[in-house]
Chains A and B, each alone.
Chain A
Amino acid sequence: MTRPQEISVVDTDLELPQEGFIELEGYIDNIKTTKGALIEILHKAQEIFGYLPRDVQLYIARKLGIPGVEVFGVVSFYSYFNVKPMGKHTISVCMGTACFVRGADKIINKLKDNLGIESNEITEDGLFSLKDVRCIGACGLAPVILVDDKVYGRVKEDQVNEIIDKYR
């Protein structure tokens, strides 16, 4: 998805862990060729930091010797990359066609109401972030929501609370 994303600026009180950069450096040094590997590197960086703040993007750019704008161009193109920190748990609601026709829009509205946030936002306590995703391939269980990696299928509107309460 190519929704405009805000250009991320790292909060000053949000220090990025030094070990993260060391791990990332090790990863980059160990790949056979960095030609064409930008997306892989970004996947790894997101795995380490949880998101891709400006400093991480610039770090990668310098490391690969390419302009920062090239890195940001790729990051902003792909919906899988987040430039903002995510909550402790990510709730993803499938908005694929199969889930949509079985009422996924009601589920996501219910979640938005309950959590008091919109898609791609994070709750005040930092516990949850909400995402709408495309088909995760479990269409037989539509409508489907994911909390982190756990799939919940055939979700009914009144079960939503029960599910998120498990993670509180």
Chain B
Amino acid sequence: MKVDSLQKLNQIREEQRQENANNSIVKKILICAGTGCLASESEKLLEILNHVIKARKCGDKVKVVKTGCFGFCEQGPILKIEPDDVFYVRVVPKDARTIIDDHIIQGKIVERLLYEEPTSNKRIEKQEDMPFYKKQMRLAIRNCGLINPEDVYEYIEHEGYSALGKVLTEMTQYSVIDEIKKSGLRGRGGGGFPTGLKWEITKNQHGNTKFIICNADEGDPGAFMDRSILEGDPHGVIEAMAIGGYAIGAHKGIVYIRAEYPMAISRLNSAIIQARDLGLLGENILGTDFNFDIEFKLGAGAFVCGEETALINSCEGKRGEPNYKPPYPAEEGYWGYPTCVNNVETFANIPPIILQGSTWFSSIGTEKSRGTKVFALAGKINNVGLVEVPMGTTLREIIYDIGGGIQEGHQFKAVQTGGPSGGVITEKDLDTPIDYDNLLGIGSMMGSGGMIVLDDRDSMVNMAKFYLQFTMDESCGRCTPCRIGTKRMYELLVKISNGEGTMADIDALKQLSYMVKNSSLCGLGQTAPNPVISTMKYFWDEYMELIKDVDYPVREGTSQINSRVGIKV
């Protein structure tokens, strides 16, 4: 069957809703099938649940649905029962019988599987009452943990493809771009470039061949926002790419995805096939004269390929080395044609903006950063997982209210945002409202959304060394400052952390930091020294404790650099 008009799409949605209203299913068991929960045997749990349901002959009343990530990965596997909104955590396969017998058949809640609040030790029944979800606003990950990502009809039922329908039937290229510009959406891949403006620049280039690329390389180690979106809502990204393609005049989209994400690849692949089968990708989409198709390219394990020019080289089958900008990809990209590169999460925001309007979207967040941001909360925090909050939420709210504070009663020390390109944020800045500019102001950056929480057991020199080892390994070697500079910096950090460093090494490290930052070719080198610069700024004492030729008086409060070399940090 082809969905060859908007009416047809609406008709399918109606039928789907009718069917759900009329069938005898009274309870739905939603079970997380994201990478995290699958690793803790949620697949087996699903199998046994179905088995028990069959044995109890209640298949006409309950249905098990596998969904994308609920975000509460620490407590996986997650299982939720609708319409009761009851949320079970750490469910193992042998709990399947209890859940069916007690909850589904007798209507009794299984107390021991409920989430236990670590501070009050109270068990919480409903998802809406859980502190983890209370302050969240799920927009980009709206469908994760709600629908079956492998079923296009469920997506259609939840307003899927209606934004594309609206764009193709009611809006011109200009009005789409205008709407996105007015919404104030900025790129979620790290740079924060206004998305509408990027689309406009690409549209205004000459020629008829243009490309739109979805950057799903997610290089920041410790971040998994894009993976969860692709696993939980692949159609959302496909729809948004088609909208973007229409706006800039591209007929072909490419998703560049990491080979390390097999589950995301397979979900995306099956979603593309389903969309093609229904005619939602291909020629004359929804009966209009718009043609658009998507293919995906696999990465092969190189962090620098997240950088847009390197990504384009890699898409062309070459070594993933970055190019000098300008020309920007919007002017000269994939095979020399104008190309618009956007991040997965950026795309995930597009359909809601089209459907609910730019005024609604721009009412969320702060003045210069509109909307929400997804963060991958990890490290020494109680509730590791995926959280989406309106811009302007403070770090303290994220770490303590949503994240549930530090593990095992330890003391908070710092939080690293922006991954290997970012910096640490300490206690004194925890009340800063999060947005692109504020984070830059306190010496870190938004990055793609990784947030690693560190506690009093973590050595900051060690963290700096870890990140430098990462960038040293990942440096593509094209430009000298990055290739050699990061190696020298790493060697100095090894020497210092072994207690063999001298004051001269500290000075050399500082000097190198600025040199690498100022003279590298691409963002990788330009930001590689950030972890060193920021740990030196906030944890100078920790460096000094390791230096052997200095008797350094440890001062109260945060440390300041008063180095003998006059470089200010």
Binding site for B on A (CB under 8 A): 1-3, 35-40, 42-43, 73-74, 77-81, 95-102, 133-142, 144, 149, 151-153
B314 at the interface (CB under 8 A from A): yes
Tell me if B302 and A136 are in contact (CB < 8 A): no
B316 at the interface (CB under 8 A from A): yes
Tell me if A2 and B473 are in contact (CB < 8 A): yes
Which of B222, B261, B466, B476 contacts A139, CB < 8 Å?
B222
Q: In the bound complex, what is the Cα–Cα distance between A73 and B478 (angstroms)?
A: 13
A-binding segment of B60-68, B375-383, B502-510, B533-541: B375-383
Tell me if A135 and B221 are in contact (CB < 8 A): yes
Q: In the bound complex, what is the Cα–Cα distance between A137 and B463 (angstroms)?
A: 20
Tell me if A101 and B379 are in contact (CB < 8 A): yes
Name B281-314 residues within 8 Å CB distance of A.
Answer: 297-303, 314
Tell me if A140 and B222 are in contact (CB < 8 A): no
Tell me if B314 and A2 are in contact (CB < 8 A): no
* Chain B residue with the shortest CB-CB distance to A92: B260
Tell me if A151 and B38 are in contact (CB < 8 A): yes
Closest 5 CB pairs of A and B: A140-B73, A96-B221, A151-B39, A78-B300, A97-B222
B74 at the interface (CB under 8 A from A): yes
User: Chain B's nearest CB lies how many Å from the CB of A4?
Assistant: 10
With A139-B224, A140-B36 in contact, do A78 and B320 touch (Cβ < 8 Å)? yes
User: Chain B's nearest CB lies how many Å from the CB of A56?
Assistant: 15
- B429-445: CB near A (< 8 Å → 1, else 0) gives 00000000000000000
Which of A2, A97, A134, A136 contacts B475, CB < 8 Å?
A2
B99 at the interface (CB under 8 A from A): no
Interface size of B by CB at 8 A reads 58
Tell me if B221 and A97 are in contact (CB < 8 A): yes
Q: In the bound complex, what is the Cα–Cα distance between A92 and B187 (angstroms)?
A: 32
Binding site for A on B (CB under 8 A): 35-36, 38-40, 73-74, 76, 218-224, 227-228, 259-262, 264, 297-303, 314-321, 335, 376, 378-380, 384-385, 416, 419, 450, 452, 454, 458, 463, 466-467, 473-477
Q: In the bound complex, what is the Cα–Cα distance between A73 and B319 (angstroms)?
A: 7
Q: In the bound complex, what is the Cα–Cα distance between A96 and B335 (angstroms)?
A: 33
Tell me if A134 and B303 are in contact (CB < 8 A): yes
Which of A40, A78, A133, A152 contacts B297, CB < 8 Å?
A40
Q: In the bound complex, what is the Cα–Cα distance between A79 and B475 (angstroms)?
A: 12
Q: List 9 A-B contacts (CB under 8 A).
A: A1-B474, A78-B300, A79-B301, A97-B419, A98-B222, A135-B221, A135-B223, A137-B36, A140-B76
Tell me if A36 and B315 are in contact (CB < 8 A): yes
Chain B residues with CB under 8 A of A3: 473
With A40-B297, A77-B320, A139-B378 in contact, do A134 and B315 touch (Cβ < 8 Å)? no
Chain B residues with CB under 8 A of A100: 221, 466
With A2-B474, A144-B39 in contact, do A139 and B376 touch (Cβ < 8 Å)? yes
Chain A residues with CB under 8 A of B463: 101
Chain B residues with CB under 8 A of A137: 35-36, 218, 224, 227-228, 260-261, 264
Tell me if B316 and A36 are in contact (CB < 8 A): yes
Chain B residues with CB under 8 A of A99: 222
Chain A residues with CB under 8 A of B318: 38, 74
Tell me if A43 and B259 are in contact (CB < 8 A): yes
Tell me if B302 and A78 are in contact (CB < 8 A): yes
Tell me if A74 and B301 are in contact (CB < 8 A): no
List 16 additional A-B contacts (Cβ < 8 Å) besides A79-B302, A100-B221, A140-B76: A1-B474, A2-B476, A3-B473, A36-B335, A38-B317, A39-B298, A39-B317, A97-B220, A99-B222, A136-B35, A136-B260, A137-B36, A138-B35, A139-B224, A139-B378, A152-B39
Q: In the bound complex, what is the Cα–Cα distance between A136 and B228 (angstroms)?
A: 12
Q: In the bound complex, what is the Cα–Cα distance between A74 and B318 (angstroms)?
A: 6
User: Chain A's nearest CB lies how many Å from the CB of B45?
Assistant: 15
* Chain A residue with the shortest CB-CB distance to B378: A98
Chain B residues with CB under 8 A of A142: 378, 384
Which of B227, B300, B452 contacts A79, CB < 8 Å?
B300
Interface centre among B316, B319, B477 (most CB of A within 10 A): B319
Chain A residues with CB under 8 A of B260: 133-137
User: Chain A's nearest CB lies how many Å from the CB of B403?
Assistant: 12
Tell me if B297 and A141 are in contact (CB < 8 A): no
Tell me if A37 and B378 are in contact (CB < 8 A): no
Tell me if A37 and B259 are in contact (CB < 8 A): no
Tell me if B319 and A139 are in contact (CB < 8 A): no
Q: In the bound complex, what is the Cα–Cα distance between A152 and B467 (angstroms)?
A: 24
With A2-B473, A38-B317, A101-B458 in contact, do A135 and B298 touch (Cβ < 8 Å)? no
Which of B74, B314, B335 contacts A39, CB < 8 Å?
B314
Chain B residues with CB under 8 A of A135: 220-224, 260
Tell me if B473 and A1 are in contact (CB < 8 A): yes
User: Chain A's nearest CB lies how many Å from the CB of B444?
Assistant: 14
User: Chain A's nearest CB lies how many Å from the CB of B40?
Assistant: 6
Q: In the bound complex, what is the Cα–Cα distance between A1 and B454 (angstroms)?
A: 26
Which of B219, B300, B419 contacts A80, CB < 8 Å?
B300
* Chain B residue with the shortest CB-CB distance to A101: B379
With A2-B476, A97-B452, A139-B224 in contact, do A153 and B301 touch (Cβ < 8 Å)? no
User: Chain A's nearest CB lies how many Å from the CB of B115?
Assistant: 14
Chain A residues with CB under 8 A of B379: 97-98, 101-102
User: Chain B's nearest CB lies how many Å from the CB of A50?
Assistant: 15
Tell me if B477 and A2 are in contact (CB < 8 A): yes
User: Chain A's nearest CB lies how many Å from the CB of B494?
Assistant: 14
Which of A35, A38, A42, A77 contacts B302, CB < 8 Å?
A77
Chain B residues with CB under 8 A of A134: 219, 221, 260, 301, 303
Interface centre among A35, A98, A139 (most CB of B within 10 A): A139
User: Chain B's nearest CB lies how many Å from the CB of A126?
Assistant: 23
Chain A residues with CB under 8 A of B314: 39
Tell me if B224 and A36 are in contact (CB < 8 A): no
Q: In the bound complex, what is the Cα–Cα distance between A137 and B317 (angstroms)?
A: 25
Q: In the bound complex, what is the Cα–Cα distance between A133 and B262 (angstroms)?
A: 14
Which of B40, B335, B476 contacts A153, CB < 8 Å?
B40
Interface centre among B317, B452, B476 (most CB of A within 10 A): B317
With A73-B319, A96-B222, A152-B39 in contact, do A139 and B384 touch (Cβ < 8 Å)? yes
Q: In the bound complex, what is the Cα–Cα distance between A140 and B36 (angstroms)?
A: 7
User: Chain A's nearest CB lies how many Å from the CB of B140?
Assistant: 16
Q: In the bound complex, what is the Cα–Cα distance between A138 and B314 (angstroms)?
A: 25
Q: In the bound complex, what is the Cα–Cα distance between A133 and B474 (angstroms)?
A: 12
With A80-B301, A138-B39 in contact, do A97 and B378 touch (Cβ < 8 Å)? yes
Which of B224, B317, B454, B476 contacts A101, CB < 8 Å?
B454
Which of B261, B317, B384 contacts A98, CB < 8 Å?
B384
Tell me if A141 and B302 are in contact (CB < 8 A): no
Q: In the bound complex, what is the Cα–Cα distance between A101 and B467 (angstroms)?
A: 12
